Structure 1
Amino acid sequence: MSIGDIVTLMRGGIFQILLLSAPILFTALLVGLIVSILQATTSIQEQTLTFVPKILAILFVLAFLGGFMFSSLGDYTVQLFKMIPLMVK
């Protein structure tokens, strides 16, 4: 196994991490931004107000994209297991 193969393997892993975490992180960021704007305009400074909408939005995204995330991770894992014989040589 060459250095190029290792770099390709690491790049694929990082891409999978970004692909699977980006929808959840962007949803939390967007909901947090909206709630903080609403808090600033209404002068409500309750710290726990941001948690419930974020949790609900993240659960919705997980329910909506969970199948895609699971199949993507499964395909990547199968691809890694198929590469094991090539790594031994």
Structure 2
Amino acid sequence: MAFNRDVRRCMTRRVASEEAAMTDTLLTERALSERFGVSPRTLQRWRRTGEGPRFIRAGARCVRYAEAEVIRWEARNSYDHRAAELAKAES
């Protein structure tokens, strides 16, 4: 019975996280490009090279960015000074 309880607990956590993701604000390519001050073409390149934040492809021409993912990406790519950025790049 412990196995069933653990599986149920795991499933409950997954459902809760999926529900949280479903209520997350989704940003369009244009909105994100304005937020970052880059062109939509730059975001397209970042998607191709894997440099930018995680994205959701909702169709052949429909790309959205979950705001929570954008915030995580911003945090991972924020540095106190240039030396910290260089140290991360070398490791």
Decide: shared fold, TM above 0.5: no
Q: Which has the higher helix share?
A: 1
Name whichever structure is richer in strand by fraction.
Answer: 2
Higher relative contact order (Cα pairs below 8 Å, separated by 6+ residues):
1
Q: TM-score, normalised by structure 1?
A: 0.32
What TM-score, normalized by structure 2, do the two folds share?
0.31
